[in-house]
């Protein structure tokens, strides 16, 4: 007699991931079928009904129900961490179980050494490159005697499995504030402004804006018009271009709405340019209060800007003395808030 079907438990997040996998065109058919089996079983369908709908044998339905039931405790642990780890865990459950086959060409120690080289700077190996490529990495591990031979594709697979991307770089910046207590206070101040932005806008209409510049943008014009797409041919763009100098973009990010608005495009980013930009931004909604969050660039705390803000907010308030270079007193915070 057939045994009792395994009872399944699925969390809301697991159900969403299973639904995503079952509809993914990039996933193998077998994985999509197994995701559907788990979803249909959780919905209360019997093995015979699921087998008829997916066109598999009833025993296969029971097998994958038991596989999910056994893996569920481990999946709940992953769910308490990152969503990506849970997604990878679910895909691992739905994959075929490891099968016996030919022994791997490279040992775990060799693979670990290959990954260690990928984490080094190429200049330490005497290579005049800034980023490892699969070809350069292959040549280096062979040169060091880690492996006798290996293909570039195998190196790429090892890097992908370890989620290493030596060809990519992400920009970041160190703070100039060395006192951790002061730096923490500055971070808390900026985060508080962002956190309170929705409530302040709902209460009295206050607009909170994050403002920054992008300089040196090249104004390029193609030397010839583009050619439109035709049957059997993609659209073509002229390779050569004509330079028209550079331009500067000063943008505003509305913290609450999540939109860029009232941006300024001009040739320079000087003191009068930023004052005009702030004035132009405030003019879009002059009847409300404004909060500008900016960094410590000198044009963001210039005398002209302080005088303009004082003129709008408190025209009778004394401004104090200027520095010898004619600018306002430099702010102590890593970011200034202009109200």
Q: Is the pLDDT of residue 326 over 80?
A: no
Beta bridge partners of 230: 233
DSSP state, residue 207: E
Cβ neighbourhood burial of 335 (10 Å; 0-12, 13-18, 19+): middle
- The predicted-structure confidence for 168-181, as pLDDT tens digits, reads as follows 888 888 888 889 99
b or e along 306-319 (b: 16 or more beta carbons within 10 Å of the residue's beta carbon)? bebbeeeeeeeeee
pLDDT of residue 122: 94
Arithmetic mean of pLDDT, 306-329: 70
Rounded-to-integer distance, Cα 14 and Cα 94, Å? 13
pLDDT of residue 82: 63
- The predicted-structure confidence for 214-267, as pLDDT tens digits, reads as follows 998 888 899 999 999 988 889 999 989 999 889 999 999 999 999 999 999 999
- The predicted-structure confidence for 273-316, as pLDDT tens digits, reads as follows 999 999 999 999 999 999 999 988 899 989 899 889 888 887 77
- The predicted-structure confidence for 156-211, as pLDDT tens digits, reads as follows 999 998 889 998 888 888 888 889 999 999 999 999 999 999 999 999 999 999 99
Q: CA distances (Å), 67 to each of 36, 40, 280, 296, in order? A: 14, 15, 62, 57
Q: Are strands 290-295 and 207-222 parallel, antiparallel or unpaired?
A: parallel
Listed by start position, the domains of the chain span 12-94, 108-161, 180-221+239-338
Sign of CA dihedral 174, 178, 184, 188: negative
pLDDT band at 1 (very low <50, low <70, confident <90, very high): very low
Higher pLDDT, 235 or 26: 235
Q: Kindly state the percentage of the chain with pLDDT values over 70.
A: 91
Return mean pLDDT, the chain.
86
pLDDT of residue 328: 53
CA dihedral 319, 323, 326, 329 (to 10 degrees): -60
Q: Kindly state the percentage of the chain with pLDDT values over 90.
A: 47
pLDDT of residue 333: 41
pLDDT band at 146 (very low <50, low <70, confident <90, very high): very high
The pTM (predicted TM-score) of the whole model is 0.54
| Distance of alpha carbon 302 from the chain centroid | 34
Task: Determine if residue 274 is left, alpha or beta; phi over 0 gives left, psi from -120 to 50 gives alpha, anything else beta.
Answer: alpha
Arithmetic mean of pLDDT, 97-120: 87
- Is CATH 3.30.420 what the domain over 180-221+239-338 is classified as, yes or no? yes
Looking at the chain, how many residues does it have?
339
pLDDT of residue 332: 42
pLDDT of residue 116: 95
């Amino acid at each position: 007699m057939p045994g009792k079907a395994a009872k399944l438990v699925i969390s809301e997040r697991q159900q969403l991931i299973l639904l995503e996998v079952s509809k993914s065109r990039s996933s193998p058919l077998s994985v999509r079928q197994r995701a559907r089996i788990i979803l249909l079983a959780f919905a209360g369908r019997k093995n015979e009904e699921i087998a008829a709908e997916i066109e598999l044998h009833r025993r296969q339905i029971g097998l994958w129900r038991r596989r999910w039931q056994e893996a569920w405790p481990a999946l709940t642990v992953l769910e308490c961490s990152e969503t990506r780890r849970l997604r990878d865990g679910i895909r691992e459950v739905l994959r075929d179980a490891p099968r016996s086959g030919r022994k791997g060409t490279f040992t775990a120690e060799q693979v670990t050494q290959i990954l260690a080289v990928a984490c080094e700077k190429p200049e330490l190996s005497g290579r005049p490159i800034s980023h490892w490529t699969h070809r350069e990495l292959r040549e280096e591990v062979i040169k060091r005697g880690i492996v006798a031979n290996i293909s570039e594709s195998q190196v790429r697979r090892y890097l992908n499995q370890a989620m290493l991307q030596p060809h990519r770089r992400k920009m970041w910046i160190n703070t100039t504030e060395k006192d951790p207590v002061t730096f923490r206070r500055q971070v808390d101040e900026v985060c508080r402004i962002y956190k309170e932005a929705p409530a302040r806008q709902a209460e009295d209409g206050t607009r909170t804006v994050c403002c920054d510049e992008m300089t040196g943008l090249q104004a390029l014009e193609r030397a010839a018009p583009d050619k439109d797409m035709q049957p059997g041919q993609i659209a073509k763009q002229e390779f050569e271009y004509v330079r028209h100098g550079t331009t500067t973009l000063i943008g505003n990010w509305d913290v609450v709405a999540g939109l860029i608005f009232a941006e300024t495009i001009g040739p320079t980013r000087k003191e009068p340019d930023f004052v005009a930009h702030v004035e132009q931004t405030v003019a879009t909604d002059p009847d409300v209060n404004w909060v500008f969050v900016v960094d410590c660039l000198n044009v963001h705390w210039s005398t002209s800007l302080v005088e303009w803000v004082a003129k709008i907010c408190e025209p009778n308030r004394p401004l104090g003395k200027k520095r010898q270079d004619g600018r306002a007193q430099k702010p102590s915070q890593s970011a200034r808030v202009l109200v």
